[in-house]
Every structure is written in structure tokens, then in C-alpha cells.
Structure 1
């Protein structure tokens, strides 16, 4: 069902500091910050050639990653994202197998303009999973 690994997301308390660290220390080519109010985050993508790293910073007090950063003040891995060709079929299969989709269960538009859903970490060995519909 899942396709390639699209990205690994790292929650950070200060996006500018994290971007500078990845750029200056690791020589990464970093993208421009992108505010995603509907997800409560500002993101920057780092393209590594075979996948991406997504740096996430809370956008507003109600950000879903604020709680994560309270527990992990220095930041850390937040989720991994896999590509799927048909998100509705993937969600149907997962739900019928007992997996929980977070939120209202309906896909929302993600940072790449594609439909995404998040799966409950307790159903996947403690790891928050994002599925992103990508065609082709």
C-alpha cells in the first residue's frame, strides 16, 4: 500500500536556528519557509535527493506540535510521511483494519498541495504516520 518515504519531519523550537544549523553545519540546501495556518505550523523542506527532511515550527499557540515541544524542548523527530497513490482507498483499508485516522478522518491539503491524513501513533509503534497522496 505505501510507496516511497516522502519526508521525515522534525519539530524545532526555532525554525531560523534550525535552518541555519542544517545549512551551515550540514551544507543542506533549504527551501523557503512556508506558513500552513490550517496545520498550525511553519515548515521548511530540505531536499536530500532521495527524500526530504521537513523542519516544523509551531504557528500560533494552538499548534498541534506545541505539546510535542513542551515534552521535547530541544525538538525531535515528529512524524514520517509515506506516499500513497489513493488516499481514500488507503484510509478505508486502514480503518477497516482498526487503525485510527486523526482529526475528522478526512484528508486535508498538505504542504505540497496534496491530500494528507495522519494516523494515530499508538497504532504504529509510537510513531505518528502521515500519508500523502501522490500520483505518478
Structure 2
């Protein structure tokens, strides 16, 4: 290992002290409580991210399981767009993009709204 690339000098002294602490600890209760609270906050953030990733994965699985008729319709639309010539897709997309502002709405995009409405395992556990 190249010692010049080590990040040991950049670490906080409390982190080094925590690594070199004995078992059972020789630190006062306040320091141990601070370490525990820091660990809990990091674990909570990790749990939140893992939960979000799991929810998105369950939605993708639901999309591929064909249990939702809207997902089936979107999949059929995607396949038909794949088979349609690029000039026709560009024409329809251009006409849609240039439609009058009076007919535009502040609703979220169709793809984002569709993906958020897909059921996750939390929805089916009831």
C-alpha cells in the first residue's frame, strides 16, 4: 500500500480514539453516548436509502409482472414506438411540444406519475 495516498491524517481525532479504545471502554459515558448517537444517525440514513431502493425495485418488479393494466399499456406503447420510424415519432413529439400554452397543465410528467403509482410490496401487504 502506498503510504502517501493514506487518508489517516485527514481523519478526526475522535475517530482515531474510537478505533484505539479498549474493550470494555475506558471513555466516559458522554463520549460513548455521542458515538452511539452518531452511529444511530448513520444507520437511520442507510435504512432510509435501502428502503427507497427496495420500493423502486418492487415497482419495477410489478411492472415486469404485468399485474397492472397501465403498465401493460405503457409496455405496448414502448414496443410500438420502437417499431415506428424515427421521423414519425419526431413529428408527433414536435406537435406535442408545440401545442398551445392554454392546453398545457402543471401536472407531473406522465412517466414519473405512472412510476410513482405502481404498487410496491408495502401496498400489497394489507
TM above 0.5, one fold? no
Structure in which a larger fraction of residues adopt helix: 2
Structure in which a larger fraction of residues adopt strand: 1
TM-score, with structure 1 as normaliser:
0.18
Higher relative contact order (CA 8 A, sep 6+): 2
Larger radius of gyration: 2
